[in-house]
Amino acid sequence: MRKELLIALAVVLAGCTVPSFGGNDHPETPTGEDAIGYENGYWYDDSVSVTTDDGLNETERAAVVARTMARVEQVRDLEFKESVPVSVISRAEYQNRSGSNNGGGSGRPQDPWNDQVWESLLLIGEDSGSSDEIDNTLSTTVQGYYSPSRDEIVIVSPTETPQIDRRTLSHELVHALQDQHFGLNGSAKTQDTQLSRQGVTEGEANYVRVLYERRCGDGWGCIALPDRTSDDGGSSGDGDGDSQEPSYNEGLFTVLYQPYVTGPRFVDQIRSDGGWDAVDALHDDFPDSTEQVLHSEKYPDEKPVNVSVTDRSTDEWSRFDHDPVGDTVGETSIYAMMYHNGQTEGDRYSYESEISAGWGGDLVVPYRNGSGGYGYVWETRWDTEKDAREFEQAYRAALTGEHDASQPRSNVYVVPADDQFNDAFRVIRSGKTVRIVNGPKSGDLDEIHRAEA
């Protein structure tokens, strides 16, 4: 699985612009102010004396971090304002810190509002909560992180002996650089805008990381990469990882991984058009949707449609006291849903399909009643009637083909009790709009959202 992800990223970046780094015509130490490509006594092209097999001691780690900072500066053409602390922990320690260790629940409270959003995508069912699934997926796949609140980097070692993967370190150092210059404490209100913002932040970090790695094969001496076969981040490590089921929710991961795969391509296009100054400007003008990240020609002019859902529920059902009242899932999440539910083929991480293309906007509004029942109304808007029809047909096919739903009457589907999406669904298209209503039983559908005459 991990091999597949690395190949996917390499393919996406195959056409990226390679920057000119210049030669090593720099003084032994910079004069006056600190220089780009020099950090804490190390130039970007200096050698470091370290032994990686037994991990890095404190002195070795400081040298590797300083040189990596200098190299990130050289690639990104941007100066660090201050040093960044780096610590290394094991996978088990990271899982304990995050409250998810494959045997227990999430450290975060349950979130029934968000559960309905993920259920609408047929990615997280009623047998598990979204908080648990997200935490379990991240605890298995995360290789490191930068904490804006603590201004520090934590690397998750792939081995019991604490080791640093230079790729992870360079990626997280880009986040520290972003935070020092642009800030990383902003928030997004919807799932889609969260992913589109990450298309810039994670996309830039992966883009710089790949440019860094190209220099490791062309002029820079780089520390060896650690052996990840013992890491439990996705497979058991018995040498046959490609044939095993992943230990995390692969459909959910497809959503979360999109910024890392298509974000670099988006950043590369922006940089090709306007240089690093244009990339800097992205941090003040994030894409409005994952559609813009997936299709860079739509940035910044093609805005998503503002979709609203009229409340047509009875007194038995009500919306959550939640701001915002609904969530926009966007093109990326719809792609992941259709791939994970067998409605599109090819490379899972291409994020390209006729079904999800043509997305114009959407809104999922969760509902609940006083008896512990949940449901939602999901309205999607498409660029053309053809696009809407393709989505409608694919969603119906996912219900019947993947979840064995019966159809007791026109436009109504019931998924059986032994399926994780055991609910009733009403699917109706009108022109460019497709509306899906979900509830525990078919009799609840009109109570959640009365059908229009």
Burial (CB count within 10 angstroms: exposed 0-12, middle 13-18, buried 19+), residue 76: buried
**The pLDDT of residue 453:** 64
Say whether pLDDT at 236 is over 80: no
**The pLDDT of residue 38:** 95
**The pLDDT of residue 26:** 76
- The angle formed by the CA atoms of residues 260, 265 and 267, to the nearest 5 degrees, is 90
Burial (CB count within 10 angstroms: exposed 0-12, middle 13-18, buried 19+), residue 217: exposed
- The angle formed by the CA atoms of residues 299, 352 and 2, to the nearest 5 degrees, is 110
**The pLDDT of residue 240:** 42
**Other CB atoms within 10 Å distance of the CB of residue 58:** 7
**The pLDDT of residue 1:** 32
Say whether pLDDT at 10 is over 60: no
What's the one-letter identity of residue 66?
A: A
Alpha helices in 19-158, H assignment, sequence order:
58-76, 91-98, 112-120, 130-141
What are 311-362's pLDDT values in tens digits?
A: 999 999 999 999 999 999 999 999 999 999 999 999 999 999 999 999 999 9
Q: Comparing 338 with 109, which gets the higher pLDDT?
A: 338
107 vs 25: CA distance, rounded Å: 52
What are 57-94's pLDDT values in tens digits?
A: 899 999 999 999 999 999 999 999 999 999 999 999 99
**The pLDDT of residue 4:** 36
230 vs 165: CA distance, rounded Å: 14
9 vs 266: CA distance, rounded Å: 13
Token digits of residue 332: 């990326």
**The pLDDT of residue 230:** 54
What are 387-421's pLDDT values in tens digits?
A: 999 999 999 999 999 999 999 999 999 999 999 99
The mean pLDDT value of the chain amounts to 89
Q: Report the run of H or E that residue 222 belongs to, with start and end.
A: none
pTM for this entry: 0.90
Highest mean pLDDT among 9-13, 149-153, 223-227: 149-153
What are 267-317's pLDDT values in tens digits?
A: 999 999 999 999 999 999 999 999 999 999 999 999 999 999 999 999 999
Q: Are 65 and 223 in contact (CB under 8 A)?
A: no
1-27 per-residue burial string, b: 16 or more CB within 10 A, e: under 16: bbeebeebbeebbeebeebebeeeeee
Band of pLDDT at residue 54, cut at 50, 70 and 90: confident
**The pLDDT of residue 425:** 98
